Structure 1
Amino acid sequence: MAPSSMARVAGRASPEAPIDLVQLATNTLGNRDLEVQVLHLFKSQSRLTLERLESETDTAARMDLVHTLKGSARAIGAQRVATACESLEGNMKTAANAPTERLVAAVDEANGYICDLLEG
């Protein structure tokens, strides 16, 4: 089994980090290769989800997109993304076209951090 990302980025993980590396390592059983795959998948999925969210007009479909992204974010320890999704889900119940800026910012931050982890 390859060492987890926690060992590789010792000192760079912090409570303020957009990805909880302990949560990621726990969910991937410390398998570094799996961590890398999951992070790549999240980056790809989150970008596609935001694109679809922007163009989607059906409220139920928009809520499904946000809900799916929330689950993915929780799986990798991207709590700010999950929290932004949760907030947006609540806002979409009263305003179908609720603003997504907070979610976009959280996803951008998480994906930037993922790029740093994978390229660093």
Structure 2
Amino acid sequence: MAPSSMARVAGRVAPEAPIDLVQLATNTLGNRDLEVQVLHLFKSQSCSTLERLAQETEKSVRLDLVHTLKGSARAIGADRVATVCENLEGKMQSTKDAATEGLVAAVDEANKYIRDLLEG
């Protein structure tokens, strides 16, 4: 199968994009079907992670949730989400109730971009 990554198909690889499509294509070896699958998986996982994070009170569980989301974000090239997760992990180490609004905003931005990419 010839690689036909979304980076080439979408034609919108911009530094300010919430998802680095070149990184996504690299991580999926240019397999467009796999790109679509992992983007759908990220959307689903990130939403459920944010819901769990909002309800969870145990510090170690909250840290694990943020850490897992950071890895998922890096896998699809969502660098902003990964950076926010990394910063939040540091804050969570020293503060019991670290604010997650920045993470919610970054995930919302990435998921909107994914929706536009897959549906547009």
Q: TM-score range by the shorter chain?
A: over 0.9
For structure 1, which runs of at least 5 residues remain unmatched after alignment?
none
Q: Which runs of 4+ in 1 moved over 3 A?
A: none
Query: Residues of 1 paired with 2:19 and 2:118: CA distance?
Result: 13
2:8 aligns with 7
**TM-score when scaled to structure 2?**
0.97
| Structure 1 Cα separation of the partners of residues 50 and 87 of structure 2 | 15
- 1:39 matches 2:33: no
Question: Aligned to 2:15, what secondary structure does the other structure show?
Answer: coil
Q: Which letter maps to 1:52?
A: R
Q: Which residue of 1 aligns with 2:63?
A: 63
Superposed CA offset, 1:56-94 (max 9, x none): 010000000000000000000000000000000000011
Deviation at 1:100, TM superposition (A): 0.3
Aligned CA RMSD, in angstroms, stands at 0.7
For 1:70 and 1:37, the matched residues in 2 are separated by 18
Give the AA of the match of 1:9. Answer: A
Aligned equivalents of 2:42, 2:31: Cα separation in 1: 16
- 1:111 aligned partner: 111
State the distance in 2 between where 1:77 and 1:64 align: 20
Could you tell me how far 1:3 is from its partner in structure 2? 1.1
CA distances 1:3-53 after superposition (whole Å, capped 9, x unpaired): 11012111x220000000000000000000000000000000000000000
Which residue identity does 2:23 align to in structure 1?
Q
Return the alpha-carbon distance in structure 2 between the equivalents of residues 6 and 20 of structure 1: 8
Segments of structure 2 that go 5 or more residues without pairing to the other structure are none
How far does residue 97 in structure 1 lie from its aligned partner after superposition? 1.4
Q: Secondary structure at the match of 1:64?
A: helix
Match of 1:49 in 2: 49
